[in-house]
Amino acid sequence: MSGDMTVLSHRRNTKLQRSLVVALLCLVTLLFWPLRCHDGWCDVFEPSTPLPAVTPPKRLDRELVVAKQRHEDTAWIGKYLPNWASSIYVVDDPRAQLTVPANKGREAMVYLTYLIDRYDTLPDTAIFLHASRFQWHNDNPDYDGLLSLRNLSFSHIQEEGYVNLRCVWVLGCPVEIRPAMDAFAAAIRDPAADQEVTTKDIFKGAFEELFPDVPVPEEVGVPCCSQFAVTKETIQQRPREDYIRFRNWLVETQLSDSLSGRVLEYSWHIIFGKEALHCPSASHCYCKLYGLCDLTCTESDCDGRYVLPPFASLPSGWPRLGWKGEERHFESPLM
């Protein structure tokens, strides 16, 4: 009996000791934890070292599909559009995370590879574009792709299914190619003239290979230059096998890199369900796609929104400096 009492007393002492240790630790913590007191109230100081920034999640409703060469800089995408998903394909680097089976057809090979590989995991809207931020064909006074992307109306894209990122009619509209007439003109041309073969010369034959069950259109027109946005539903109106067939054609055709890419440039709108002659009103396009309404447009101009530059390569210092080295006003945010 006395032994049992001894054991019980020992257990009680042990529990008491543990309680005292816990209480002491709590007291020490309170004494040494930094406090901020005023008006009789005390708060614990926030840590002097800020918590790491939380990276915003990538948007799942949109994705940039970018055709890039190794020397081109795409850092602007991550800096200015950090929560936009992007798939950047490096066409001339077989070791890149995203690349293409053959570097042919310019951006067309990238676009078709994406459509094939991502057919079952597409975003709501895919935006297909070139790698460089400032390019002569970007449809704003600064030729800035970022300005175009930031102002896009995704609701309009969803309504249309496919939209070209260019609204202006300069190059491509109202008519760019008359397949039958152009092919005939090429056929009767004097070989001694040694003229360079153009997209117009070969478009009819290429169209018949790409779309064997579709009558060759009399006229083809669409704003240049292979940058556009397409919805998932529009892409999936065609089976994946169609995109595989288009890519196989691109790999196997005897046409040059430039010509084969140009054929697709004037075929994307047809692939995505638009009429062969697809030249929406420029003023309507600017208003609906970019929110720039009440512009007065002609076939060559819309209140100066786009001016065809004198050269394809923009001058050093653009957009701060103009073609003659002069200071210029620009809208574009710069790093």
pLDDT digits (tens, 9 = 90+) for 224-259: 999 999 999 999 999 999 999 999 999 999 999 999
Sign of the alpha-carbon torsion through 139, 76, 121, 247: positive
The residue with greater pLDDT, 333 or 21, is 333
Q: Are strands 59-68 and 162-164 parallel, antiparallel or unpaired?
A: unpaired
In Å, how far are 35, 287, 301, 326 from 308, measured between CA atoms? 65, 21, 9, 18
β-partners of residue 34 are none
* Residue 246 CB neighbours (<10 A): 22
| Predicted confidence (pLDDT) at residue 15 exceeds the cutoff of 60 | no
Sign of the alpha-carbon torsion through 293, 298, 304, 306: positive
Could you state, in order of their start, the residue ranges of all structural domains in the chain? Answer: 59-290
* Residue 187 CB neighbours (<10 A): 8
CA angle in degrees (0–180, nearest 5) for 99-136-204: 70
pTM: predicted TM-score of the whole model, two decimal places: 0.81
